[in-house]
Amino acid sequence: MKILILTPSLPSTQKQTGADICLQAFTKALQENGYTVTTVGFLRIGESLPQPNEEFISVGSCHVETKEAKLYPLLWASKSFLRNLPYTSARYYSKQYIKKVQELLSQNSYEAIILDHSYQIAWLEPFIAEKHKIVSIAQNIECEVYADRVKDAKNIAAKWLYSREAKLIQSTEEHLTRTSKETWALTDNDAKYFSGIEGAGKIRVMGLPSSLGDLPDSSIEKTFDIGLIGSWIWKPNGDGLRWFFKEVYPYLPKRLRIEVAGRGAEWLDGQYPNVNYQGFAPDAKVFMAQSKVIAIPSICGGGIQIKTLNSIGLGLPIVATPFAMRGISNPPSFVKVTNDPKKFADLLVAGIDSNQSTSSAAKEALDWSKERKQIFLRDIREALNEISEN
């Protein structure tokens, strides 16, 4: 039984994002359910295939982060207007990709064709004849992300560009929701949105499991008090980090040591005497294990917070906003939730001073993670069984 996954970019071998982790969770679950999975996409510039076998097929290399792309954004913008595609979709448009998909579909029979980050590669949909086998993974309600950017834009040109992007993405998301056999959302809120689209196919919520594996080595020393980790280059994450330092930080004792990891928060360098920004963390599990408490200050965005899932899975004390907990129900007792800045700070301090049993938290985390993973595997198995029967 074969599954074909089409994605904008193959999982990074060097600097994994939440999108990479999400895709890998689906891939692993499909494999554990007995499917052979082939994933097609672009490689990031300077990277090679994750492993030299038939599981991954590259259709070329591309810049994933705009700030590293030099003059390519001008080419992508031109392509966007010429083909009337969202900019974030036009950047991946490729005749070579189309040719490879046509070739694979002519040579193989697949139980399902899964479009990951579907709005970015929706231009592939017309070349897939068996529409009844298409599954769209909607990691966010992306049109809402860009609609929020319209509000934050500081000039007319930026407002117009973000407004155009939001409208085109909305049209793309709605079209795929109608033509796909199923749309897999990551939260109830996102599923509700897609279900409200007239003519929508079946909508399911797929609750991602924690993805960092075993609990961290208990011998790892706690080297700082508060840890924050994320891809801050993504605006919703960056907004949450700025909210933390504007609203929560003033209530925290200045004796505390705070570490921030992840790309896109260079603005923190030298801003606060007790804050160190270390950039990309090569091992997220080690970084989290070195923290006495993890702060997750999300205030906007869509989809599910991978860092929240992984922090819970590692049994680490967490203070999070309600927004950071979207798509995550019945968290363990070591997870504290508030959107009040002062209470957020107080809970962080309490978490640092907590004497909660490590073994107790570890058992809670293990039980919670196991149950969530089994539900995820079951839901994917049931979805694909339904698709195969029709």
What pLDDT sits at residue 204? Answer: 96
> Which token pair is 260?
């921030």
Q: Which residues of 201-240 are buried (b: 16+ CB within 10 A; e: fewer)?
A: bebbbbbbbbbbeebbeeeeeeebbbbbbbbbbbbbbbbb
Q: Determine contact, residues 298/323, Cβ cutoff 8 Å.
A: yes
Query: Confidence class of residue 217 from pLDDT cuts 50, 70 and 90?
Result: low
User: Quick one: which of 231, 225, 349, 239 has its CA closest to 275?
Assistant: 225
- The structure tokens 């056999």 sit at 181
Mean pLDDT, residues 210-214 taken together = 65
58: which strand partners? 41
**How many CA atoms within 13 Å lie on the side-chain side of 339?**
8
- Quick check: helix, strand or coil at residue 19? helix
Residue 375 binned pLDDT confidence (cut-offs 50, 70, 90): very high
Q: Is the pLDDT of residue 216 over 60?
A: no
pLDDT of residue 365: 83
Q: Where are the alpha helices (DSSP H) in the chain?
A: 18-32, 72-83, 87-90, 95-107, 142-152, 156-179, 188-195, 235-243, 284-289, 306-313, 341-353, 358-389
Residues in the chain, how many?
390
Amino acid at 113: I
Give the pLDDT confidence of 135-192 residue by residue, as tens digits. 999 988 889 888 888 988 889 999 999 999 999 999 999 999 999 999 999 988 899 9
Q: Report the share of the chain in percent with pLDDT over 70.
A: 93
Does residue 300 surpass a pLDDT of 80?
no
Tell me how far apart the alpha carbons of residues 57 and 70 are, in angstroms, rounded to a whole number: 26
| 139 against 120, higher pLDDT | 120
User: Could you report the per-residue pLDDT of 76-113, keeping only the tens digit for each?
Assistant: 999 999 999 999 999 999 999 999 999 999 999 999 99
Q: How far apart are CA 86 and CA 165, in angstroms?
A: 5
**What pLDDT is attached to residue 175?**
96
Q: What is the pLDDT of residues 24-67, one digit of tens each?
A: 899 999 999 999 999 999 998 888 876 656 689 999 988 877 77
Question: Do 175 and 143 form a contact (C-beta atoms < 8 A)?
Answer: no
Q: What spatial distance separates the first Cα and last Cα of the chain, rounded to whole Å?
A: 15
Instruction: Identify the residue with better confidence: 132 or 213.
Output: 132
* Cβ pair 273, 291 in contact under 8 A: no
Q: What is the pTM of this model?
A: 0.84
Give residue 282's pLDDT: 83
Paired strand residues for 229 = 261
